[in-house]
Structures are given as C-alpha cells and as structure tokens.
C-alpha cells in the first residue's frame, strides 16, 4: 500500500501586503502631513490664477518654475525626508522585543526587507505624487502645461528618492541604535568634505599657502555634489531672448540613483546576516567597532584638538602665524585619546573602559604624531608646488576685491607674471614662517589656477610687506609692488575682453549719485580710460598703503559676452578716478559729469 500523500510545493513570497498596508496606515501622519503641507503650493497657484493676480504664464515659464522648485528644494527635502521614512520602517531593529517578534513571524528576512523598503519608498513618493498631480492638473486646465518638464521633474524625484532612501537604509543596517542612525546618516552625507576641510585647516596651521578645501571628495557627499551639478539652463533665440529651459545634471542624478540601488542591495545582504541581539548597540556588526572607535578619535583630534591648541597655546604663546609642532601634537593627541574613550564607552555601554586600553591609546597617539609630522614636513610637497604654465588654462590673483585674471592662450605674458609672483612667494616660505604678523602691514592673497585637465588649483597666503623688501625685485614684495604699478596690468583691469560687447558705463559721483551714459559717450569715456592706463596715468596700488588717494568718483564698465554654451555672461570693471588721469577727467568735464569746482574741492 502506498501511503504517500501528494502536496503542493510551498511558494516563496517576496512581498507581504499586510505588512505593507500596516506600515502605510501606521505612519500616515508623516506622509499625510508632508502631502498636506506640499499641497499649499498648488493651492496658492490656483487661487492666484482664479483671482487674476497672476500674470499670463506660458509653457516655458511653467517649466522654469517646475525645474527651479525641483533643483532648489528637491535634494534637501529628499535628504531629510528619507532618514525620517527609513527610521520609521526600520524602527523595530532598534528594540530587542520588537525585532524578536518580527523575526519570529512566518516571513523570511528577504520578504521583510523588500516589503519595508517598498513601504519607505511609497511614503517618500506619495507627497510628490499628490503635489505634482495638483500642479499638473492646474497647468492643464489653464493651458500652460509642459509634458517634457513634468516627465523630467518626475524622473529627477525618482532618482533622488532612490539615492537618499538607499543611503538611509544602508545606514540603518549598520547600527542598532535609533539615536545613532541620524548621526550616521549625516556623517555619510558630509563626512568626506568635512574631513577634507579639517585636514586643509590643519595644513594651513603648518604650511604657507593653505590650499583650503578643494572639493575633491565632494562626490562622496550626495547632497553637496547634486547641488553643485544640477542647474536650470536657458536656451536663447537669435535675438538673445529666452525661448526654453532645460534641467542640467541628469548624469549626476543617474549616478547617485544607481548608487542608491546598489546600497539597497548591500543593505539586503547585511540584513540577512544581522544578529537580532545587536538591537540597542551602536555598531550592529563587530567589524565596525574599531572603525567607530578610531574614527571618533580622529574627528576629536581634528576638532577638539585644534580648538584646544588655538584657545590655549595659540593665544598665549604662539609668536607667529604658523603653529608649533610639539604643542600642536600634544593637544591633538590628548583630544584623540578623549575621543577614543568616549567611543569605547558608547560601544561597551559602561564607563569602565580603561583596563586593557593602553594599546589603543598608544596607537591613537602614534597616529596623531604621524599625521602632524606628515603635514609639517610637507612630505607631499603641498607647500612647494607651483603649476607649470603649459599645464594651465588661466590663472587668477585676488586680494580684497582686486582681481587679476589672465588666460594663458591669449595673454601668456601676463599669466606668466602671476606664476612668477607665486614662485617668489614659495621661495620665500621660510621668511613667512619666521615673520611676526602682529599689527604689521599684511594682506591676504589667493592664487587660483584652472588647469587644462579641468581641475582647479588654489593657494591662499597671508603676506607681510616691508619697505626694504618692496624695493628688492627678487622678493615677492618687490614683484607684487611692480605688478600692481605696471601700466599693462592696470590697462588689463580696465579693458573688456575682445569678444565682449560694451553694454553700459556709469559714472558714480558722490555729489549727485550715478549717471548712465549714451552709447556714443560710453565709447569716449572707455577710450579715455584705456589711454590713461596705457600712458601710465593710473597710479595703481601701493602695497605699503593699499589706499592710494583718489577723487570721490569712479567709473563702472559693464560688458557682455557669450560663453561656451552659447549663454550670455556678464562682467564688470571698476576704475577709480585719480588726479593724474588727465584724458578721462577731460572727457568727464566735457560731458558735464564733473566740474572744476568739484575737482578743486576733492
């Protein structure tokens, strides 16, 4: 007799409708409140249209408003809203009783992960669907709807939602503490640029020419990189009028959307291996404990250590602008040890963490000393680097609003002068280290290079000027003094680019305010300014004074040119009026913009 009983094979489910509905109904105040608040915008637009207070709107203006709203508010809202949704749907992971209950249900972890992930994504998208539907319906009814703009905006929101919710979910799997999750999420968004800025600040304490934060690692910060990449661009017709708008930066959005999807996949792998007993722990996996411990020690070193040095040693005993190695290393090592013990207390959930910590403390101190030595000895050559002119596209020297900017291809001699000044500063770096900056005559300078490979190279200097060095053409003092007095340099500050169009010239006279000129008069004033500059009638800046006496009058030159994208780019030059500028003064007097009485009074 055959006792076998036929049975149907069990079907594995990847989605649980009951749990999905439970999540949406349980957390409705979040997505409902967001939908209600967002609906105020289309409601205001509708009331403005019904009352007639809104002027006529066409499809181009509708696309511009839609793109601007998405580009300005979309990333920030998604970043904040994502962590709120992720915290709610994964809240059971941070309570031992709740996680035990969930993991004893007849549903495997893959089904739980997929259902909770879809719940969080749904809660994120519902407000956008509600608000977007109201806006589009209003635009359809009034006849200014733009389908392309609506589709592009919807695609942008989908990519942003995937990117930030994926990151938030990944962070949720790394910790077992509900309070640690938003902190970890914030660090995931801003840690890379934060460390870059702190490292640059430490470098500026030891080295001349602080590079500052170059933004090299901004791509590791989704929010910062997205805001830097997306923008609303205009398409002009032949007459220069705007005929359409488009959203730029979809490549970056797609990259972060793909990264968010990858993080969701990694979060699923972590969730399958996550121990339920880790609920309440700062680190949900043992391998993360040393990373958290030494990472907090590093942050404490770069923040608390620097603050202690500046408040104590730097204020009371530091003679110059640059830090002393031993006191800085001691202050930072003490701060690193403090961060190490704080992290240990959080991980172990006790204050008794001192026994057996000698090895970790020694590693922390050794790491701090090595970091300070690496920067102070300039192992990477940061202080000594000066780009080669053939690798540079353009170079700029700026100081308190005075800007010299030269293209290497069109103005090679002037660009070479700026590189020469930079090299002189680097050669005098030992002098700068030993200088006492007290109340002496010093100024801040920034040298910026746009490299041919697309990167930007920047150095910032605090330079002290002395009378005996200004007359020496081999020092940076002498080179800068000659630079600012050079008639060719002065003329370059007044002249507009060759491919630019002179738009307007305004004369600002303290006696009666501003006066805009007619086209023919603009050209006369502009040519007189150039003639005075070329003949050396414009005195230029005195590096020992920086306040060469001038008349209470200046000329503002406005011009326009086309950039590489075909969009208009506007520029402005300002020339102050000096008694030696005879040609400009003669033209202004002839145009009755100045009087001899005013000149005598000034």
- Cβ atoms within 10 A of the Cβ of 482, count? 16
Percentage of the chain surpassing pLDDT 70?
90
Residue 447: pLDDT band (50, 70, 90) is: very high
| Cα separation, 238 vs 290, whole angstroms | 62
Burial of 339 (0-12, 13-18, 19+ CB in 10 A): buried
| Cα separation, 83 vs 79, whole angstroms | 7
- What SS3 state is found at 563? coil
| Cα separation, 224 vs 207, whole angstroms | 28
Which of 587, 531, 522 minimizes the C-alpha distance to 557? Answer: 522
Residue in the structure block whose two tokens are 């060469």: 548
What is the tens place of the pLDDT at every residue in 122-169? 999 999 999 999 999 988 888 888 899 999 999 999 999 999 999 999
Q: Reply yes or no on whether the pLDDT at 90 is more than 50.
A: yes
- What SS3 state is found at 284? coil
What is the tens place of the pLDDT at every residue in 517-552? 778 888 888 888 888 888 888 887 777 766 666 777
- Predicted local distance difference test score (pLDDT) of residue 5: 43
Task: Look at the chain and count its residues.
Answer: 602
Which of 166, 175, 187, 186 minimizes the C-alpha distance to 262? Answer: 166
Q: Where are the domains of the chain?
A: 17-278, 288-376, 389-485, 493-601
- DSSP state letter for 54: S
| Cα separation, 87 vs 175, whole angstroms | 11
3-state SS record for 411-440 = CHHHHHHHHHHHHHHHHCHHHHHHCCCCCC
Radius of gyration of the CA atoms of the chain, in A: 32
Following DSSP, what letter does each residue of 194-249 receive, concatenated? HHHHHHHHHHHHHSSSB-----TTGGG-HHHHHHHH-EEEEEE-TTS-EEEEEEE-
| Cα separation, 563 vs 236, whole angstroms | 12
- Which carries the bigger pLDDT value, residue 356 or residue 498? 356
Give the Cα-Cα-Cα angle 467, 469, 475 (nearest 5 degrees).
Answer: 150
Q: Reply yes or no on whether the pLDDT at 10 is more than 90.
A: no
Backbone conformation region of residue 596, classed left if phi is above 0, alpha if psi is from -120 to 50, else beta: alpha
Residue 267: pLDDT band (50, 70, 90) is: very high
| HSE-up of residue 186 (Cα within 13 Å, Cβ side) | 6
Q: Reply yes or no on whether the pLDDT at 48 is more than 80.
A: no
Residue 164 contacts residue 79 (beta carbons within 8 Å): yes
Burial state string for 551-579 with b = 16 or more CB within 10 A and e = fewer than 16: bebebebbbeeeeeeeeeeeeebebbbbe
- Predicted local distance difference test score (pLDDT) of residue 328: 93
Q: Reply yes or no on whether the pLDDT at 462 is more than 90.
A: no
- DSSP state letter for 301: I
| Alpha helices, DSSP H, located in 391-517 | 412-427, 429-434, 467-470, 476-485, 487-494
| HSE-up of residue 4 (Cα within 13 Å, Cβ side) | 3
What is the tens place of the pLDDT at every residue in 16-44? 899 999 999 999 999 999 999 988 888 87
| Cα separation, 31 vs 24, whole angstroms | 9
Residue 167 contacts residue 82 (beta carbons within 8 Å): yes
Average pLDDT of the chain to the nearest whole number = 86
- DSSP state letter for 441: S
Residue in the structure block whose two tokens are 């690496």: 374
Which of 423, 415, 414 minimizes the C-alpha distance to 394? Answer: 415
| Alpha helices, DSSP H, located in 207-357 | 222-229, 250-273, 288-300, 306-311, 313-316, 325-348
Q: Reply yes or no on whether the pLDDT at 241 is more than 70.
A: no
Q: Which two tokens stand for residue 480?
A: 């800068």
Residues whose CB falls within 8 Å of the CB of residue 460, separated by 6 or more in sequence, listed in order: 204, 209, 210, 211, 212, 444, 445, 446, 447
- Calculate mean pLDDT across residues 393-402: 84
What is the tens place of the pLDDT at every residue in 280-339? 899 999 999 999 999 999 999 999 999 999 888 877 776 667 888 999 999 999 999 999
Which of 521, 525, 531, 527 minimizes the C-alpha distance to 554? Answer: 525
């Amino acid at each position: 007799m055959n006792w076998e009983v036929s049975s149907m094979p069990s079907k594995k489910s990847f989605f649980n409708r009951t749990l999905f509905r439970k999540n949406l109904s349980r957390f409705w105040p979040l997505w409902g409140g967001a939908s209600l608040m967002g609906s105020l915008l289309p409601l205001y637009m509708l009331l403005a249209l019904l009352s007639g207070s809104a002027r006529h709107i066409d499809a181009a203006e509708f696309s511009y408003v839609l793109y601007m709203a998405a580009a300005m508010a979309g990333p920030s809202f998604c970043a904040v809203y994502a962590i709120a949704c992720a915290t709610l749907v994964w809240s059971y992971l941070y309570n031992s009783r709740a996680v035990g209950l969930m993991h004893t249900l007849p549903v495997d972890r893959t089904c739980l992960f997929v259902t909770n992930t879809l719940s969080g994504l749904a809660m994120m998208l519902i407000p956008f669907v509600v608000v977007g539907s109201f806006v589009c319906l209003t635009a359809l009814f009034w006849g200014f709807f733009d389908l392309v703009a609506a589709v592009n905006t919807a695609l942008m929101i989908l990519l942003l939602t995937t990117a930030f919710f994926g990151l938030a979910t990944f962070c949720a799997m790394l910790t077992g503490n509900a309070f640690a999750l938003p902190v970890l999420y914030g660090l995931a968004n801003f840690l890379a640029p934060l460390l870059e800025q702190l490292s640059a600040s430490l470098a500026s304490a030891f080295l001349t020419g602080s590079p500052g934060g170059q933004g090299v690692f901004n791509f590791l910060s989704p929010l910062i990189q997205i805001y830097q990449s997306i923008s609303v661009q205009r398409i002009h017709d032949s007459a220069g009028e705007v005929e359409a708008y488009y959203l730029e930066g979809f490549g970056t959005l797609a990259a972060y959307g793909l990264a968010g999807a990858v993080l969701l996949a990694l979060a699923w792998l972590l969730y399958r291996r996550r121990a339920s007993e880790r609920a309440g722990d700062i680190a949900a996996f043992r391998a993360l404990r040393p990373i958290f411990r030494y990472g907090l020690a590093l942050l404490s070193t770069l923040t608390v250590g620097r603050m202690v040095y500046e408040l104590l040693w730097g204020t009371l005993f530091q003679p110059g602008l640059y830090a002393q190695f031993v006191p800085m290393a001691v202050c930072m090592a003490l701060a690193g040890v403090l961060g190490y013990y704080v992290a240990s207390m959080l991980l172990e959930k006790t204050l008794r963490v001192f026994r057996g910590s000698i090895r970790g403390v020694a590693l922390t101190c050794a790491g701090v000393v090595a970091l300070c030595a690496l920067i102070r000895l300039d192992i990477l050559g940061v202080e000594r680097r000066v780009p080669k002119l053939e690798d540079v596209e353009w170079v700029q020297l700026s100081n308190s609003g005075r800007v010299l900017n030269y293209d290497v291809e069109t103005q090679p001699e002037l660009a070479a002068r700026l590189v020469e000044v930079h090299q002189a500063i680097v050669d005098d770096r030992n002098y700068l280290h030993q200088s006492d900056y007290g109340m002496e005559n010093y100024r801040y300078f920034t040298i910026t290079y746009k490299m041919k490979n697309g990167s930007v190279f920047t150095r910032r200097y605090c330079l002290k000027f002395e009378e005996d060095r200004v007359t020496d053409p081999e020092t940076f003092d002498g080179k800068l003094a000659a630079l600012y007095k050079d008639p060719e340099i002065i003329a370059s500050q007044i002249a507009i680019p060759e491919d630019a169009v002179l738009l307007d010239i305004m004369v600002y006279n303290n006696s009666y305010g501003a006066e805009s000129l007619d086209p023919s008069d603009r050209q006369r004033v502009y040519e007189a300014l150039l003639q005075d500059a070329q003949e050396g009638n414009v005195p230029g800046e005195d590096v020992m004074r920086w306040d060469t006496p001038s008349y209470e009058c200046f000329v503002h030159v406005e011009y326009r040119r086309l950039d590489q994208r075909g969009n208009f780019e506007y520029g402005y030059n300002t020339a102050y009026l000096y008694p030696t500028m005879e040609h400009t003064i003669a033209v202004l007097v002839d145009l009755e913009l100045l009087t001899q009485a005013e000149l005598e009074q000034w």
